[in-house]
Amino acid sequence: MNSNWFKLLMKVMKIDYGKNLLLKGVPVIFNKKGATLNIGSDVVIKSSFLSNLVGLYQRTIIVTRTSEAEIYIGDNVGMSGATIYARKSIKIGKNTHIGGNVKILDNDFHPLEIEARNADNKEKIGTRPVVIGENCFIGCNSLILKGATLGDGCVVGAGAVVSGTFGDNCVIAGNPAQVIKRL
């Protein structure tokens, strides 16, 4: 089922998207007032259980959580059951493919310090931008953590936990992820 009616709701939420956006199933997309959420042209977002046979655990979730947050998704990006959750900034380059159930997070969700966590002090939540280059492939069930930078042409192995900076054309795998090959 294509969810073209959802595009009307996206316009109301001030979510910019390019031509030929294809929604398979109904994603969860939320743009906080004042935040920027920009989806390029020819993007495919799969959210229905049978839209990716790797086995999706959830619908795709794309959220700007603060009014300062920015999410930029380049042209010709595909994703299935992914979570993209920004308090600061997440940028995904064109022609990047994001496998089933991948999580891309630019924050810790909760403060690390006990006092701040118990007080639910949102200003103490650690955040750092995430940048994913062009022409990347991120394997299913991977976790891209705050501050991660992937150069162009990177491949992330299934289930990898990625933090840090990786240059162009690297194959990255493991927990913690490390370069296992250069392309």
| Three-state DSSP state, 93 | coil
Do 145 and 165 form a contact (C-beta atoms < 8 A)?
no
Of 100, 109, 102, 117, residue with least CA distance to 52: 100
Which is catalytic among the residues 103, 110, 117, 128?
110
Q: How far apart are CA 111 and CA 95, in angstroms?
A: 34
- If one counts every other C-beta atom within 10 angstroms of the C-beta of residue 98, the result is 30
Residue 110 a catalytic site member: yes
* Residues that are catalytic: 110
